[in-house]
Structure 1
Amino acid sequence: MENRRITPLDIESKEFPTSFRGYSAPEVRAFLERVAAEFESLLREIRDLEQRTAELEKERDELRERESLINETLVAAQASAERILEAAREKASAILAQAESERTQVSAQIEHLRAERDAFIAQLRSFLDAFYTRLEDTKRRAAG
């Protein structure tokens, strides 16, 4: 028995010895032609399916590459977003600390200015009281 595959041509060209009361040669020939045609059709279909399988495998591989790239991009974007958020939090914290420091300084300046104002008002009153007292003394001396 041969190890090679049977082709449609092998089927179509197969010759059988004739014997007395054997099979009808035209019917055998017609059947072999039909089998060869069907065999050839099936081989074409197998080749088409193999080609389609190869195309689908290539498409699948491309989609996997895209998926991998998308996942890598997503991971990178998430990491970038986290870094941006952390930087924004740090900046906001620094701004708040600076604002709190400035608020404390302004509050201290306001308290200092209030104290200076109160001292000035007290000095002014004292000066006015002294001036009023001298004025009254001067009026009394002039009147009296």
Structure 2
Amino acid sequence: MSFLNDLLGGGQGNAAGGASLISVAGALIEKAGGVQGLVAMLQQHGLGEAAQSWVANGSNQAVSGEQLGQALQNGGLGPVVEEAAGKLGVDPGQLMGQLSQVLPHAVDHLTPNGEAPAPGQGGLDLGSLASLAGKLFGNNAA
């Protein structure tokens, strides 16, 4: 069982839980103004190198839930995290730990050519992110 499956509570509902995490990641990206907005906000709050690695081709630099939570809070996205944690019935700190694993994959998935789309160019494709949930969480139901 993967680390993310452990975080989501074991064997049942992992794909649904994973889809929820992907939805939260998508909401954060959307509220930040797209991939470019999220990367710019993370750069301003100390995670620029990591965020750039998520966009670029190659391996994604890891960040901790605490680092990500602090950057999102300082970037004005704290209320989005709080609301999502409430809807998912988890502690915001636990959600940040999960998102620190998922958000790099989501950004990477949305930037296949190693570049963030320019604002207004190629909107956020939540359908594309939904397919990522199956890859990350082993959706066997499909």
Shorter-chain TM-score: what band? Answer: under 0.3
Q: TM-score normalized by structure 2?
A: 0.17
Q: Which has the higher contact order (CA 8 A, sep 6+)?
A: 2
Structure with bigger helix share is 1
The structure that has the greater radius of gyration is: 1
